[in-house]
Structure 1
Amino acid sequence: MDGTDRPGTAGIHRLAGAVRQAWLRHPGWSLAAKGAAAATLAWFAGTLAPAPFSKYPYYAPLGAVVAAGGTVVRSVRDSVQSVAAVLAGAVLARAVDLLPLPDVVKLGAVVGLALLCAGRRVFGDHGPWVAMSAVFVLIVGDGNPAEYIAAYAGLLLLGASIGIGINLLFPPLPLTPSERALERLRDGLVEQLEALAGWLEHEGPLEPDAWERRRRRLFPVIESARAAVARSREAARANRRLPRNQERVAAQLGRAAALQTAAEEVDETVRLLVHWEPSGRDDPALGRRLRPAFAAALRHLAAALRSDPPDGARLHRSVDELREVVRDARRSSQQDHFVAGALIVTLSRAADALDH
């Protein structure tokens, strides 16, 4: 019986592992599940609340969705900002409503003043809630404004509390998406370095327009990796899952810092070569004599980035050899090779970043 059970058990384990990996790769799934659960619980809580709150139960899910849509720290911040925006809009609407003005003039004044307030940094991304709250209070809550304001803000806060609670129980820690973003950055850097080395070895001077386009294509990849790591760093704060993932988080942050520095140095290398080693230039920075040595150093940088963890030891040796080549070239020619020296410094910084 044991022999027949094992294949089925192994299949179940593989399926569970595949499902877990898919869940980790797509953090939007857990976000959707938490948002749906928070909104449902908030609705029921709103219907069970005492009057006048139970008259407006649909406002509670709004607060739940706001709070359940991000990290633990962000959910608290978003909840505070959204409730503050609602209260600001409500106060503004009540103040304008007390003025002896025609209704259409009141509406215009409320919207205009609310939009002016919406840009305040204190409301963060929830500035538009000032205008929405002001219009709702002015029009919908006209019969009993105090009751409506209390229900609106109170239910929003109730729903936000439920969303925060769910986030505390099931906090997001999107390490897998961050790792994938870093892998895309690494692959993009390696591809650019290999292409640049091949160009120096076989093509000679660079074509400025083509390489400027290559350089700019990497910018969105760099920004995507930076944003993904920033989300992971924020998610780690006040996160009960952090102790079990402390080493992984630390390793990811270290890798991100190394790749960020490497990306800056690769960009600087391409920028210098595009400016000083273009086709058609009479006095290129490297020339036929130095191009092969620099191409070899670029390939060593690509190899260091491909290794896991990144290893700059071989790159350091390659840079040292490159220094000797440049010194020999300087002694036997009239050129100062300042640009070659700047490129060596750039490669050294990349090697130092990979060592930490």
Structure 2
Amino acid sequence: MTRGRRRAVAAVHDAWVRHPRWSLALRGALAAALAWLVGVLAPPPLSDYPYYAPLGAVIATTSTLARSVRESAQTVGALLLGAAIALVVDAVLAPGVLSVALVVGLALLCAGWRGFGAQGAWVANAAVFVLVLGQGDDVAYVGAFAGLVVVGAAIGTGVNLLLPPLLLTPSALALGALRDALVDQLEDLAGWLDHEGPLDAEEWERRRHALFPTIEGARAAVDRSGEASRGNPRARRHGERVRAQARQAEALGTAAEVVDEVVRLLVGWEGAGRDDVALGPRLRPELADALRSYADALRGEDDDADVDPGVGLARSLDRFHAVVRDARTRSGDDLLVAGALVVVLRRGADALDG
């Protein structure tokens, strides 16, 4: 294979793993096609309604392997309950406004049961389908409708089992974006402490809140990846990568809390308009150095190539702690905020070590 072709293949693979929606579309299309064939080849009355089989397949393939099994079961239960409601109402009332209102009302009440989860809407859908489309042959229609959805869901689950989504790359990208955002925040904060004087509370509150979407996006991506790993045979082959990503997610989650707490403490106690600032000119440079060391440790590098970033962070925190103790002895002040910053940053360092 030529170098250009290898680069093209690598680019396609990179795009594929970065965009799990593509693999989702492929799985869904394959499962729907297989389900349609099964529906067409099935004996009557199933073959009269082959389009319900792809519906079940789509339900099962639009989520992770573990969730597809659960959501398929919830959907089938909701369909059967909706069909039962329609059959009972149709047996006692003639078709008309009252029967439609009663079926929809009862179905919507039942749809709220939390056992159905997000699939509760299928109770009302099934009830209306059976009531309106099953007139004259209700039992056969219900059997075909529910049976084909079950078959389609089984096919979709099988496709998910053969081609299970793992979602490690999207979560890795989200964690990388979070790490970069936290590093930028720490370095900006250190630069401010070095050169800008007291913190501008309004600006730093805005910066705090700007991090929230990145934090939530990373948490959601990691949650999806963790769910995709459950029962997934590919997760066993990539076990070390899965565990490493879980450790990184935990460390970055702690780092996000640490950065947020550091900013809140500094905005509250080292902000503009305060006469009794928490750090002052002696402690600010040491804290700035500690924040840069923490940024290096998050990034996994250090300005001194001979020093491990974790070791560099530990040394920097020790220096900051020593300066805080010395300042407390000389001034007689408690310096509670400076002490709290030492504790908060050590918590972040411990999370990286773990």
Same fold (TM over 0.5): yes
Stretch of structure 1 that moved more, 335-344 or 308-317: 308-317
CA distance in 2, matches of 1:90, 1:273: 61
Residue 267 of structure 1 deviates from its aligned partner by: 0.8
Other-structure match for 2:179: 186
Per the alignment, residue 319 of structure 1 pairs with: 317
Is 1:56 the counterpart of 2:49 in the alignment? yes
1:5 aligns to what? none
| Distance in structure 2 (CA, Å) of the matches to 1:170 and 1:95 | 41
Task: Determine which of 73, 82, 89 is the counterpart of 1:80.
Answer: 73
The one-letter code matched in structure 1 to 2:110 is C
Distance apart, 1:308 and its partner CA = 6.7
- Structure 2: gaps spanning 5 or more residues: 303-307
Give the one of 7, 12, 28 matched to 1:14.
7
The separation in 1 between residues aligned to 2:92 and 2:269, in whole angstroms, is 69
Structure 1 residues 107, 311: CA separation in 2 closer, same or farther (over 3 Å shift)?
Answer: farther
Tell me which residue corresponds to 2:348.
350
- Find out whether 1:24 has 2:22 as its counterpart: no
Q: Where do 4+ consecutive residues of structure 1 move more than 4 Å?
A: 308-311
Aligned-pair distance for 1:289? Answer: 2.0
Given that 1:174 and 1:235 are in contact with CA atoms closer than 8 Å, whether structure 2 keeps it comes out as yes
Match of 2:147 in 1: 154
232-241 vs 39-48, greater mean Cα deviation: 232-241
Q: What is the 5 A alignment of 1:1-356?
A: 9-100=2-93, 103-307=96-300, 311-356=309-354
Q: 1:51 to 1:271 in 2, by over 3 A?
A: same
CA offsets 1:163-215 (integer angstroms, 9 cap, x no match): 01111111111111111101000000001111111111111211111111100
Q: Residue 218 of structure 1 aligns to a residue in which SS? A: helix
Q: 2:293 touches 2:309 (CA, 8 Å); kept in 1? A: no
Secondary structure in 1 matching 2:264: helix
Q: TM-score, normalised by structure 1?
A: 0.94
Offset from partner CA, 1:315-348 (integer Å, 9 cap, x none) = 1221111111111111121421111111111000
Please give the alpha-carbon distance, in whole angstroms, between the structure 1 residues aligned to 2:263 and 2:149: 52
Q: For residue 294 of structure 1, what is the amino acid of its counterpart?
A: L
Alpha-carbon offset, residue 23 of structure 1: 0.8
Whole-angstrom distance in 1 between the partners of 2:64 and 2:43: 31
In 2, are the aligned partners of 1:204 and 1:291 still within 8 Å (CA)?
A: no
TM-score, with length taken from structure 2: 0.95
Contact kept, 8 Å, 1:83 with 1:157, in 2: the verdict is yes
1:206-257 superposed Cα distances (whole Å, 9 cap, x missing partner): 1111111100111111111111111111111221212321111111111111
Given that 2:54 and 2:152 are in contact with CA atoms closer than 8 Å, whether structure 1 keeps it comes out as yes
Task: Tell me, yes or no, if the aligned pair for 2:60 and 2:68 is still in contact at 8 Å.
Answer: yes
**In structure 2, C-alpha distance between the alignment counterparts of 1:292 and 1:10, rounded to whole Å:** 50
**Match in the other structure for 2:305:** none
Q: Secondary structure at the match of 1:241?
A: helix
Q: Tell me, what secondary structure is at the counterpart of 2:288?
A: helix
Q: Percentage identity across aligned positions?
A: 60
User: Take 2:150 and 2:298, find their aligned partners in 1: how far apart are those partners?
Assistant: 48
Separation in structure 1 between the aligned mates of residue 22 and residue 149 of structure 2, nearest angstrom: 24
Cα distance, 1:11 vs structure 2: 2.8
Question: Any idea what the Cα deviations from partners look like across 1:255-303, whole Å, max 9, x if unmatched?
Answer: 1111111111111111111122210011111122211111111111101
